[in-house]
Amino acid sequence: MGRERRQRHGGGRRERRAGGQDAAVTKMAQPLHNLPVYELATEEGLELIHQTSMEILSEVGIAFLDDETQAILKENGVEVRDDIAYFDPAQVESLVAMAPSSFTQLARNPENNVVIGGDHLCFAPVYGPPFVHSLDRGRKEALLSDFQNFVRLAYLSPYIHHSGGTIVEPTDEPVESRHLDMVYSHIKYSDKAFMGSVTSAENAADSVRMAEILFGSDAIQESPALLSLINISSPRRLDDRMLGALKVYARARQALIITPFILSGAMAPVSVAGTLAQLNAEALAGIILTQMINPGTPVVYGSFQTNIDLQSGAPVFGSPESQLSLYVSAQMARRYKLPFRSGGMFASSKIPDAQAAYESVMVMLPAVMARVNFVLHAAGWLENGLAAGYEKFVLDCEILGMFHKFLQGLDLSPDALAMDSIRTVPPGGHHLGTPHTMEHFRTAFYRAELFDYNSAEQWQEEGSLDAAQRANKKYKQLLKDYEEPELDAAVDEELRAFMVRRKEVIRPEY
């Protein structure tokens, strides 16, 4: 049923596109990592980190704060004492090898299906902020309307391939049921792939059920329709909430990102190498649990790592130490042939100023060079993740566009070498208007629409706007022009009916 619907719906989309009705939604394919990869650590270095993390897994152990999980571990021969599991390195390696090196996540518009892993790069929006920031309103508690706005902005960006998950926390919705509103909003206001709720086993089950309504239960067994974010409570602990969600998703064969969340100096040693060993141990612990539950479950090796600030204890983004860690984490993921998640347009800055931009590129560019596969927080992040910025979101997307172009790499064809054209232009002449230039001009260069390239005089005439002020106009225009991607009426009805039933169970007092 779901499959039939999807096809019907997909067909509808194609017809509308053919009719030119939503030409505004430009599609860009996921960039491919065809450029040489940057290998910062040597093979010996990676082996040393691997061995140290095996020592952590076998001798120091990882805490799993959930009885059922402990039973699963024991059934698989893992030693568990006082909530702490001690793993056999050989078993770790054989379980890790069961996870696929890449997989396709379904989107309700099949053209937006995303490949996670291999040579593919996928950008997803910011995740988790309880606040939003805009130039007009400053910092405000995030509402469901903000959530929906960011879903719309992600839908409209050609450089965001994924609708994400908890783009912001809709604080105006009851915490017990807001996961339903979030998943529904992803489905309703976008046609890109999205993430499931991880706040409890029940919420995960609701997310799976809604994906089944949308895609059909058979389809999502073949290819996951949800990619959900399991954070490890570093150091060395998975809590019952995260484990509850992990079990539901693994059993439903839905994809998971296992991410140690580490600020070195607090959740891990101050040293990069120690952090990497611990991060690797933690990521592998979560990953092998998914394979014990359901071998072959798609799972992503995640790294959210930076360090604390000496003075405030707050996280520091784009730090040189975190860049080193990012490159090597990516190498570890490749060592285990797993998709890699890291990066993000991270910033400690509260506003979309120079600090925010410096910080963001100092994470994202290394992530791209490290050959990241999935980037959560690829646009919109401000204030250590406490705020999603409207202006920041559209500014970040400009840079994501640049990565798309960069990753197309170097064309060394005779036409690109352009000897014929070089011969025709005399010394001191110019290439403006040559046949070669005219032929390639429109596609030769990426153009960041929000960046000002005018003369200072022209820029002053136009109001001396800074980048954030231009972004302010842009996001408002995008939201104004937004058109909802058509959702099959029967699916919509079924999703709404499911939500009503669930809300009655979850919070009968309403």
Distances (CA, A) of 128 to 36, 125, 165, 167, 384: 33, 10, 8, 6, 11
Return d(Cα 218, Cα 448) in angstroms, integer. 42
Least separation in angstroms between CB 184 and its own copies: 30
- Closest distance to its own copies from the beta carbon of 329 (Å): 12
Give 206 or 391: the residue with its C-beta nearer to its own copies.
391
Cβ proximity to its own copies: between 25 and 308 the closer is 308
Judged by CB, which is closer to its own copies: 52, or 223? 52
CA-to-CA distance for 326 and 368, rounded, in angstroms? 10
Q: Give the nearer residue to its own copies in terms of CB position, either 148 or 319.
A: 319
- Tell me the C-alpha to C-alpha distance, in Å, between residue 19 and each of 15, 16, 46, 110, 256: 6, 5, 53, 18, 37
For the CB of residue 405, give the shortest distance to its own copies in the complex, in Å.
4
Q: Whose Cβ is closer to its own copies: residue 166's or residue 319's?
A: 319
Minimum distance of its own copies from residue 131's CB (angstroms): 8
Q: Tally Cβ neighbours within 10 Å of residue 345.
A: 32
Question: What is the Cα Rg of the chain in Å?
Answer: 23
Q: Which residues pair with 341 in a beta bridge?
A: 302, 374
With CA atoms as reference, report the closest residue to 224 among 115, 374, 111, 342: 115
What's the closest the beta carbon of residue 364 comes to its own copies, in angstroms? 9
Nearer to its own copies, 211 or 370 (CB): 370
Under 8 Å between Cβ of 79 and 86: yes
Quick one: 87 or 189, whose CB is closer to its own copies?
A: 87
Q: In whole angstroms, what is the distance from residue 179 CA to residue 176 CA?
A: 8
CB 118 within 8 A of CB 444: no
Reference 191, options 152, 147, 230, 218; nearest CA is 152
The distance of closest approach from Cβ of residue 286 to its own copies in the complex, given in angstroms and rounded to an integer, is 13
Name the minimum Å distance from CB 228 to its own copies: 22
